[in-house]
Chains A and B, each alone.
Chain A
Amino acid sequence: MGFSVVKQDGVTLVDVEGQLIVGNRQELKQKVLEELEGGDRRFVIDFAGTGYIDSSGLGVLVSLSKKIREQGGELRLSGLNEDLRTLFELTKLDTLFRIADTKDEALAGI
């Protein structure tokens, strides 16, 4: 379980492995904010390797999206499985985020 950060064609790509939950959400937030403070503005967070996101995890994505937009940047999400997509739809967060099927799609469009 963890997060890996790579830079690809000027986009910061974060892979979430395992879970994004109350116990590790601050780690993701810190990693993304460090890159934002370092000048990065385009972000993709990929959930292809993620089994579960809880409400705290959803909350940290909302918070990051707001901070990135405030800096003139953009955050896209990708790789949500059926269950994760259901959580986004139930909470209507699918209307708040740009969500791509795959990280390649997200990277191509950002």
Chain B
Amino acid sequence: MSREIILEVPNDLRAIENTIALVVERCDFCEGHARKLNLNFRVSLAEALANAMLYGNGGDCRKRVRLEICLEKDHVRACVTDQGEGFDPDAIPDPTTPENLTRPGGRGLFLMRKLMDEVRYNERGNSVTLVLRLGTDLGLDEAASA
């Protein structure tokens, strides 16, 4: 079995923390994976939501960001979709090279790629899917029957 959470988030940066807190709270049965959830998942999801709001939706408060979370047996998958025109993720330069290290921006996508097991964009470039494998059975069946 799996658990699914679908949220339509207002295009407001202040909504990010509450959204993430809600999602992480629903992952309460992943007790043995606290660090992966609090570092890898939390950071990557925050970056994806911020990118969607700032760059995808261009800060337009009339737009929304769709967040789909799927908790599977041994992994968590998040899909963040904005209402923008999309972008080419391969065009984002490596922020760790000497010439880019002192640039203030460009680290969000890099962090997602470092912290998650999979980062995939759709062809249009307005939807990113993040996958974090937790390595062990999360015991969703037991959680559901508890």
- Which residue numbers of A lie inside 8 Å of B, CB to CB? 19, 21-23, 52, 54-56, 58-60, 62-63, 66, 83, 86-87, 90-93, 95-96
Contacts and interface: CB of A to CB of B under 8 A. Distances in A.
Given A59-B104, A66-B102, A91-B96, A21 B46 contact: yes
A59 B107 contact: yes
Interface stretch (B37-45, B65-73, B76-84, B132-140): B37-45
A83 B103 contact: no
Contacts of A59: 103-105, 107
B16 interface: yes
A21 B49 CA distance: 12
A95 B101 contact: yes
Given A23-B16, A90-B114, A54 B101 contact: no
A68 B35 CA distance: 34
A83 B111 CA distance: 13
7 contacts: A21-B16, A55-B107, A58-B107, A62-B102, A87-B111, A90-B110, A91-B96
B107 A92 contact: no
**How extensive is the interface on chain B, given as a class?**
20 to 34
Contacts of B46: 21, 52, 54
A21 B17 CA distance: 10
Contact of B101 (A55, A56, A83, A92): A92
B50 A93 contact: no
A86 B36 CA distance: 12
Contact of B96 (A52, A86, A92): A92
Interface string B80-97: 000000000000000110
Given A56-B108, A87-B43, 14 more contacts: A19-B17, A22-B16, A22-B50, A23-B13, A23-B14, A23-B16, A23-B17, A55-B108, A55-B110, A59-B103, A83-B38, A91-B95, A92-B96, A96-B101
B60 interface: no
Contacts of B104: 59-60, 62-63
B105 to A, nearest CB: 5
A58 B108 CA distance: 10
Contacts of B61: none
Contact of A83 (B16, B17, B39, B54): B39
